[in-house]
Amino acid sequence: MINVDVFVDAKGLSCPMPIVKAKKAMDAMESGQVMQVESTDKGSVNDFQGWARHNSHEVLKTEEEGGVYRIFVRKG
């Protein structure tokens, strides 16, 4: 199980809003902390992979359940 420090609810939002909300939350986090994002935009999975790589963060895990995508990102 992944210990989550910050939770971001981006359900019902379309690109680029899940990333925008996540970036705001990430800016307030300490290096090494983990954020969980929940999104209903299936494009979010790829968006977060690219965003994390570009910003030196790490996507720890992605999962989908009932149309909700959970993305776990560790701040770099």
The residues that are catalytic are 15
Q: Are strands 34-39 and 58-65 parallel, antiparallel or unpaired?
A: unpaired
Q: Please give the Cα distance from 68 to 63 (Å, whole number).
A: 8
Q: Please give the Cα distance from 54 to 4 (Å, whole number).
A: 22
